[in-house]
Amino acid sequence: MKKVLVTGASGQLGQCFKKKMDHVPNLEFTFTTADELDLTLFGLVDTYIKDHNFDYCINCAAYTNVEQAETSREMAFLINSEAVRNLAQACAENNTCLIHFSTDYVFDGKKDAPYSEEDETNPINVYGSSKLSGEHYIQQKMEKYFIFRTSWLYSDIGHNFFNTILKKAKPGAVFNITTAQKGTPTNAYDLAEYVLRMISSEVEEKHFGIYHYSNLGEATWYDFAQEILQLSGKQDEVKLIKNNDFETVAERPVNSVLSKEKALSTFSEEIPHWKESLAQLFKNGIS
């Protein structure tokens, strides 16, 4: 039985791991929230990892408020960079494989094609810079790691675009949604399932490294909103307007579609198309 620690367990992705854990009988899980294991405290993290002898640590903790990060730079770096350094150091010292999540926002969005793992990073906002700094610490301190860069994460849990659209889709509502950014919505349950399948089979050392994981296909935020409204049957109750000029505090990459070729050719798991996966979430029932 492999021992798995999931940190940042009360967040969106952490809770998806919790809901999916019964699908993998050969793993023994421990879930810790920020209150139970604050990753910014190196002594605490180091002792905890040392005491429990985990095979894997799946780090779902992060500072994810992209807008607020612009004015809370220190906090974003504390959680997305310094805390990741702590975890990487503790995992490396205790032979624990770290599975960490990063973001499409490490890229500047100027490429006119999907981004591969080899492409040059150049974050254009504080969140992206802080996440990239976390990646660098892992690469400096560890050999046994997987970093999954993902994008536009959503589920029926927590604060995300999907939940916001559904919550605000009341009769007469007007949505102004941008068409100026292209990326791929990613169902957080798919990502959790993908990682769990990967570690419940034999992980080969030659596979450690950075991977891109989002659902397949591409969309603008407008496309994503349109599909959510259609699948929820609310498309006739609200007015959806294309907006090319949406103002945000943090600059966002115009194109942040991630190429999944490396993951597809390395692991034998399929990756669903974003539309198919969104429909599946409705079929499974929104909690």
Ligand X SMILES: NC(=O)c1ccc[n+]([C@@H]2O[C@H](COP(=O)([O-])OP(=O)(O)OC[C@H]3O[C@@H](n4cnc5c(N)ncnc54)[C@H](OP(=O)(O)O)[C@@H]3O)[C@@H](O)[C@H]2O)c1
Residues forming contacts to ligand X in the complex (CB under 6 A) are: 7-8, 10-14, 33-34, 38-40, 60-62, 64, 79, 83, 101, 103, 131, 150-153, 158, 160
Cβ(121)–Cβ(246) below 8 Å: no
The CB-of-83 to ligand X minimum distance in angstroms stands at 5
Burial of 120 by CB count in 10 Å (0-12 exposed, 13-18 middle, 19+ buried)? exposed
Q: For ligand X, which is the closer residue by CB, 235 or 250?
A: 250
Q: For ligand X, which is the closer residue by CB, 130 or 226?
A: 130
Active site residue 127: yes
The upper half-sphere exposure of residue 123, i.e. CA atoms within 13 Å in the direction of its Cβ, equals: 19
Q: For ligand X, which is the closer residue by CB, 38 or 235?
A: 38
Cβ(125)–Cβ(267) below 8 Å: no
Taken in order 266, 252, 133, 14, is the CA torsion positive or negative? negative
The CB-of-272 to ligand X minimum distance in angstroms stands at 17
Find the radius of gyration of the CA atoms of the chain. 19
Q: For ligand X, which is the closer residue by CB, 39 or 91?
A: 39
**Which residue(s) pair with 103 in the sheet?**
150
The CB-of-61 to ligand X minimum distance in angstroms stands at 3
Catalytic residue among 63, 127, 137, 213: 127
The CB-of-126 to ligand X minimum distance in angstroms stands at 13
Q: For ligand X, which is the closer residue by CB, 8 or 109?
A: 8
Q: What is the number of the residue whose Cβ is closest to ligand X?
A: 11
The CB-of-114 to ligand X minimum distance in angstroms stands at 15
Could you give the dihedral angle defined by the CA atoms of residues 168, 169, 170 and 172, in that order, rounded to the nearest 10 degrees? 110
Q: 268: left (phi > 0), else alpha (psi -120 to 50), else beta?
A: alpha
Cβ(58)–Cβ(11) below 8 Å: no
Residues involved in catalysis: 127
